[in-house]
Structure 1
Amino acid sequence: MNQNKPVSTLVFDVNETLLDITTLEPLFDRLFGDPAVLREWFAQLILYSQTMTLSGLYTRFGKLAGGTLKMIGSIHDVDITDDDISELAERIGTMPAHEDAVPALTLPRDAGFRLVTLTNSASAASPTPLERAGLGGFFEHSFSVESVGKFKPAPETYHLVADALKAETSELCLVACHLWDTIGAQAAGWHGALVTRPHNALLPAEEVPVPDLVAPDLTELADQIVRRWKST
């Protein structure tokens, strides 16, 4: 088998990469008087999703998101009600697409790349968050870590996609705004493309994989992808 085929499939992360999580800020502003607490919550959500996987445990990402909000409430001495948890779930399910998402998806699709998604979130009934955001039609398949019961960046999550698509790892490139995600993909033999949205950056440390491509917005990143690996 040829392990050095050029990239033909782009695997997009969803939350924050394609969908704008800053639309959750009004909830955090109402609860904590500071919309920036969103970032504290999100960092803890990722930390504990990875902790669950490293510990051999699993619960749905949505359940973990609600529990993490309650935990942050305890830290800040704020009572979190069931209605608050419901509002969080509603806002997560209706996040809009980033302004650069449609042009960034159109360019590689029209160039012949296969487009799929891989998310920590559980499978959702239609319409999905991507469909609500107007992006669902770009993707031939949406993968969830739910089927392997391990959160990214566990190797099994990336193997899930490769196996389902019957693709060699060199043909796959993860597109994400989280370096921990591209690190996991590259460790699994994929390529990595990083969009440095606010609050996300490279980690200059020894042995930390550097993404193949880096750009400050998704449209520029898509342009780099097409120029480097345009399908023929």
Structure 2
Amino acid sequence: MLKRPKVVAFDIIGTVFSMEPMRPALVALGLPPLALDFLYTAGLRDTFALAATNTFAPFQSVLSGCLDEALAMHGLDVSPERKRAVLEMMKTLPPHADAKAAFQVLADAGIRIFALSNGAASTTRGLLAAAGMDGLVEQVLSVEDVKLSKPRAEVYLYAVQAARVAPGEMALIATHPWDLHGAKAAGLMAGYVARGLPYARALRAPDLTGKTLLDVASEVVRI
């Protein structure tokens, strides 16, 4: 039987904040609409390669290389300034419509809230502050503190240590099955924000699934 977690850690990029505003910006560079999906998955590809070999690079620098790759694939020559402007959009991503409500449901239930991102802590703090959600978050944690990226177990256990709880007393809420797989492997509870997509069968199954952030947060409170 599931026990209600004392702490919920949220993945940030994609889960709480949407990358969709970057899609038209990439199209304006001459790339196809699916370039956003390539950029993110290629960024994860390289981040995972680094993590698997015990090395690390900031996610922003990884994405920069992947953007160069995408542009080269389409034979596009874009100025450094225009490329930098697109990547800087990562610092101003909008929250999903139900993000603040999801955080509030947990806070009202006395559940502590952490942010756990593959991005920089400063970027996450800026996003949360702009969305008026920073007051609901106890701590902002970044893989840059560990010098390894998710889904390495060290990242999730770092969050557990920062919260001063046991792994089973923390849940990760994310829209990325690979992230939840990593959390489960490290002993955490996992809540999947499906948004219409199936969960990867080959990965460790989540404990909770909902269509939206608010659905999953509400399920956590109902435990």
- TM-score > 0.5, shorter chain as reference: yes
Among candidates 201, 204, 210, match of residue 204 of structure 1: 201
Answering whether residue 149 of structure 2 is matched by residue 151 of structure 1, we say yes
Tell me the equivalent position of 1:17. Answer: 15
Corresponding residue for 1:112?
Answer: 110
SS of 2:192's equivalent?
strand
Change (3 A) 1:13 1:55: same
1:5 to partner: Cα distance: 6.3
3-state SS of the aligned residue for 1:25? helix
Q: Tell me the equivalent position of 2:214.
A: 219
CA RMSD of aligned residues (A): 1.7
Alignment-mate amino acid for residue 144 of structure 1: S
Q: Which amino acid counterpart does residue 183 of structure 2 have in structure 1?
A: A
Q: Is the 8 A contact 1:6 1:170 kept in 2?
A: no
Verify the 8 A CA contact 2:60 2:119 in the aligned structure 1.
yes
CA–CA distance in 1 between the matches of 2:158 and 2:219?
26
What CA distance in whole angstroms lies between the structure 2 residues aligned with 1:34 and 1:126? 28
Partners of 1:95 and 1:133 within 8 A in 2: no
Q: Which has the larger displacement, 97-106 or 84-93? A: 84-93
Amino acid at match of 1:22: E
1:72–1:211 CA distance, 2 compared to 1 (3 A): same
What SS does the aligned partner of 2:21 have? helix
Residue deviations 1:109-131 (CA, integer Å, cap 9, x gap): 10110000100012227961221
Aligned counterparts of 2:122 and 2:33: Cα–Cα separation in 1: 27
In the alignment, is residue 163 of structure 1 matched against residue 161 of structure 2? yes
User: How far did residue 96 of structure 1 move?
Assistant: 0.8
Asked if 2 retains the 8 angstrom alpha-carbon contact of 1:178 and 1:194, the reply is yes
**Deviation of the 1:89 alpha carbon:** 2.9
Question: Does structure 1 conserve the Cα–Cα contact (< 8 Å) formed by 2:117 and 2:124?
Answer: no
For residues 1-232 of structure 1, what are the structure 2 equivalents within 5 Å? 6-124=4-122, 128-197=126-195, 200-205=197-202, 208-228=203-223
Amino acid at match of 2:211: P
**Corresponding residue pairs, total:** 222
Unaligned runs of 5+ residues in structure 2 are none
The whole-number CA distance in structure 2 between the counterparts of 1:156 and 1:84 is: 36
CA contact (8 A) 1:24 1:88 kept: yes
Q: Which amino acid aligns with 2:205?
A: V
Please report the TM-score for the alignment, with normalisation by the length of structure 1. Answer: 0.90
Of 58-67 and 77-86, the range deviating more from structure 2: 77-86
Helix, strand or coil at the partner of 1:21: coil
Query: Could you tell me how far apart the structure 2 residues matched to 1:225 and 1:6 are?
Result: 7
In structure 1, distance between residues paired with 2:82 and 2:134? 28
Deviation of residue 140 (structure 1)?
Answer: 0.5
> Which one-letter code corresponds to 2:201 in the other structure?
P
Identity %: 28
Distance 1:118 1:126 in 2: 9
Contact 1:97 1:134 in 2 (8 A): no
